[in-house]
Amino acid sequence: MATQPNQALPNGYRLNEYTIIRKIGGGGFSMVYLARDDANQSVAIKEYLPGALVLRTEGSVVVQASSTENNNIFRHGMKCFFEEGRALARIDHPNVVRVVNFFRANDTVYMVMRFERGKTLQQHIQANRGSIRESFIRRVFAQLLNGLREVHTHKLLHLDLKPSNLYIRLDGSPVLIDFGAARQTLTQEESKLQPMYTPGFAAPEQYHNRERLGPWTDIYSVGASLYASLAGYPPQAADARLLNDKLVPATVNWRGAYSDQLLETIDSCLKLNYMERPQSVFSLQKVLMDRSAMMPPRSSLLSSLRRQLNRELF
């Protein structure tokens, strides 16, 4: 079913103790707003709004399912979204987005998060394509893995790790945002929903064999995000790789530009067989924190030539 053109909540709308400033993001599953609370603190509010199931028309704030059948699926998903908010609210870690409130309104549910200032890793990749230093990659991902370890400790999976969901604050510290866990619980009636994965970053078991989801699933996405940091684009999608694997290994693509250890780590994270990947975030983090294996800084001339070649190729 095609996604419905849902209307966002209007600017200035009063939602419990929050005032909507403007819509700042969203897709087929939710909308995200910048808002302010009664203490004039900025927050981000995520609204459960799967366009394949519900519709909010112009001039209305209430969400309505597009059919009786869709209403049942929507209600189940709303419960999962609410439970996700409850679970994330128990996590207080500097590298995980802080959920400060969750509530029901307008016949749907909302998750209120601390508003972070900075930019996504995706924006950083686009601005520095072909010239991202290994020291930056190791620092950012090692810190992000601190947050992911905390998530896994709470028996949760992120399931939507990608550069656009990895945020870098103004002080340079990274934070995990926009979890996909609630979407992943909607295993029934999958055909009614938007894809629950991001091609290129989703592990093979997110397409099939979902009973095999585990920490290694997020680790595949970490590997794909590392690969994208070097390439400037995602690796070949896992479902396509299962049919005809054309992914050029990191150890081939960037040999001599980055340390063998880093490149081998990326390739191990991107193994199609989940049992061949690192099985825990801790084991992966130890490798990334081993700065003794880093390549020495490249000369400015070599870096310039490499960036020029990358632009010509891609």
**Per the annotation, where are the binding residues?**
46
Look up residue 286 and give its amino acid: K
> Number of C-alpha atoms within 13 angstroms, CB side, residue 151?
33
Could you give the residue ranges of the DSSP H alpha helices within the chain? 68-89, 121-127, 134-153, 181-184, 215-231, 238-243, 250-253, 260-269, 281-288, 300-313
- What is the spatial distance between Cα 30 and Cα 45, in angstroms, rounded to a whole number? 10
Q: How many residues does the chain have?
A: 314
If one counts every other C-beta atom within 10 angstroms of the C-beta of residue 150, the result is 18
In the annotated binding site for ATP, the residues are 46
